[in-house]
């Protein structure tokens, strides 16, 4: 009887189910429990109680090329313990340990270290933060969108040459991904373009002046995006430069997440650290060079001299362009009035007999 009970138990049914799941096509390492059996369909989703569209679709092909491709679903979605599972109300905790052992380590992988760095930074949630500030502070997924590996085209990486050497011993499919994984972090800067970094920091956050005002940030922070766009760095990035400084270049070290207020001693933009920060790109940086205001607000009250020069230069620039146009127009008007018309053939621009000369 006991045996029959076991036979009919859900556990045995589950074991058989999982066995068949593994045999089913399309199941790879990350999808041990065959979650994609349901989640591979693009229309799986719903409109939630608040009217928001929720898509639960996970594209097999995209996920297989994303940086989390080897992480089993339930390593992140730890709260799922039954099938079909209940509506998910919990957020994923990126500090969880997942069952991936990095090379040269026996410890399970976790983002905990970088999250600790982040939590100490200005963006980390603090106990004395107001509720509004806590809600506005970015969380992991705000900036990180499970990126797809991209080939690093920087010259020093020599992608094709090095990969072709790997292929002497390793299979293409596996080693290509592994090579992309390594080179992903070997870029001179972040894997995002400076334009993407500026966009990320500005959009919906630092450029949202209503939000910034609500959070009672300093005047410098309120104007940070505007003054950056007006600076030489901002203009270069705006024109497509890939080497000029973006937000992260100056405000964080290579760990990217350690952004602090400038008064904090370990802030890269603290007065004591500015020379070192500028030296990342500029040669022969002196204390005086480091004093140059990067987020410079050139207003009549803040910097009257610079403001005056700026206004005068504006007048000179616009004045010269529009004066030339005005003169040309005035000349055309006068000549036409005088009976001379413009022709572009036969050796001259203006042809005809002047009424003035005639009357003389």
Contacts to other proteins from residues 11-50, by CB under 8 A? 11, 14-15, 17-18, 20-21, 24-28, 32-33, 37-38, 40-47
Minimum distance between the CB of residue 221 and other proteins, rounded to whole angstroms?
18
Residue 86 is a binding residue for other proteins (CB under 8 A): yes
Residue 66 is a binding residue for other proteins (CB under 8 A): yes
Q: Point out which span in 66-74, 126-134, 292-300, 330-338 binds other proteins (CB under 8 A).
A: 66-74
State which residue, 28 or 220, has the beta carbon closest to other proteins.
28
From residue 240, give the alpha-carbon distance in Å to each of 109, 118, 226, 233. 36, 29, 18, 11
From residue 177, give the alpha-carbon distance in Å to each of 30, 103, 171, 173. 15, 15, 10, 7
**Within positions 143 to 162, which residues make up the interface with other proteins, using CB under 8 A?**
145-146, 148
Q: Are 145 and 160 in contact (CB under 8 A)?
A: no
Q: Which of 205, 201, 254, 255 is nearest to 228 (CA)?
A: 201
State which residue, 55 or 119, has the beta carbon closest to other proteins.
55
Q: Point out which span in 225-233, 241-249, 266-274, 281-289 binds other proteins (CB under 8 A).
A: 225-233
* CA pair distance 133, 212, nearest whole angstrom: 10
**Within positions 265 to 294, which residues make up the interface with other proteins, using CB under 8 A?**
none
Q: What is the CA radius of gyration of the chain?
A: 31
**Within positions 187 to 206, which residues make up the interface with other proteins, using CB under 8 A?**
204
* CA pair distance 58, 99, nearest whole angstrom: 20
**According to CB under 8 A, which one of 2, 7, 10, 263 is a site residue for other proteins?**
10
Residue 53 is a binding residue for other proteins (CB under 8 A): yes
Minimum distance between the CB of residue 335 and other proteins, rounded to whole angstroms?
17
- The DSSP call for residue 360 is -
Q: Are 89 and 80 in contact (CB under 8 A)?
A: no
Minimum distance between the CB of residue 322 and other proteins, rounded to whole angstroms?
8
**According to CB under 8 A, which one of 72, 100, 184, 211 is a site residue for other proteins?**
72
* CA pair distance 135, 101, nearest whole angstrom: 33
Residue that the structure tokens 């293409």 belong to: 172
Minimum distance between the CB of residue 233 and other proteins, rounded to whole angstroms?
13
**Within positions 291 to 350, which residues make up the interface with other proteins, using CB under 8 A?**
314, 318, 321, 325, 344-348
**Burial (CB count within 10 angstroms: exposed 0-12, middle 13-18, buried 19+), residue 198:** buried
State which residue, 63 or 179, has the beta carbon closest to other proteins.
63
Q: Which strand (E) or helix (H) includes residue 341?
A: strand 341-342
Residue 141 is a binding residue for other proteins (CB under 8 A): yes
Minimum distance between the CB of residue 103 and other proteins, rounded to whole angstroms?
18
Residue 60 is a binding residue for other proteins (CB under 8 A): yes
Binding residues with other proteins: total (CB under 8 A): 71
Residue that the structure tokens 């002196």 belong to: 286
């Amino acid at each position: 009887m006991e045996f029959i009970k076991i036979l009919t138990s859900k556990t045995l049914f589950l074991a058989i189910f999982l066995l068949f799941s593994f045999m089913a096509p399309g199941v790879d390492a990350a999808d041990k429990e065959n979650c994609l059996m349901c989640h591979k369909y693009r229309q799986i989703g719903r409109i939630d109680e608040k009217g928001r569209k929720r898509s639960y679709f996970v594209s097999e092909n995209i996920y297989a090329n994303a940086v989390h491709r080897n992480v089993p679903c339930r390593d992140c979605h730890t709260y799922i313990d039954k099938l079909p599972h209940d509506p998910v109300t919990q957020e994923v905790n990126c500090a969880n340990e997942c069952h991936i052992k990095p090379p040269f380590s026996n410890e399970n992988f976790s983002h905990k270290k970088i999250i600790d760095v982040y939590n100490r930074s200005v963006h980390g949630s603090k106990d004395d933060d107001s509720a509004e500030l806590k809600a506005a502070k970015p969380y992991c997924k705000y900036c990180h969108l499970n990126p797809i590996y991209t080939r690093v085209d920087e010259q020093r990486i020599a992608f094709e040459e090095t990969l072709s050497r790997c292929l002497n011993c390793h299979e293409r499919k596996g080693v290509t991904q592994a090579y992309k994984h390594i080179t992903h972090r070997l870029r001179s800067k972040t894997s995002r373009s400076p334009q993407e970094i500026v966009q990320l920091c500005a959009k919906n956050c630092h450029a949202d002046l209503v939000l910034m005002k609500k959070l009672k940030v300093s005047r410098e922070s309120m104007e940070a995006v505007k003054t950056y766009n007006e600076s030489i760095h901002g203009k270069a990035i705006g024109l497509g430069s890939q080497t000029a400084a973006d937000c992260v270049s100056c405000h964080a070290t290579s760990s990217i997440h350690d952004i602090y207020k400038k008064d904090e001693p370990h802030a890269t933009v603290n007065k004591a650290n500015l020379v070192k920060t500028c030296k990342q790109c500029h040669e022969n940086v002196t204390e005086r060079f480091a004093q140059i205001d990067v987020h410079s607000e050139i207003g009549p009250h803040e910097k009257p001299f610079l403001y005056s020069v700026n206004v005068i230069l504006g007048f000179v620039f616009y004045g010269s362009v529009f004066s030339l146009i005005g003169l040309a127009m005035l000349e055309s008007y006068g000549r036409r009035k005088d009976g001379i018309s413009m022709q572009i053939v036969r050796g001259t621009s203006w042809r005809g007999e002047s009424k003035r000369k005639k009357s003389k």
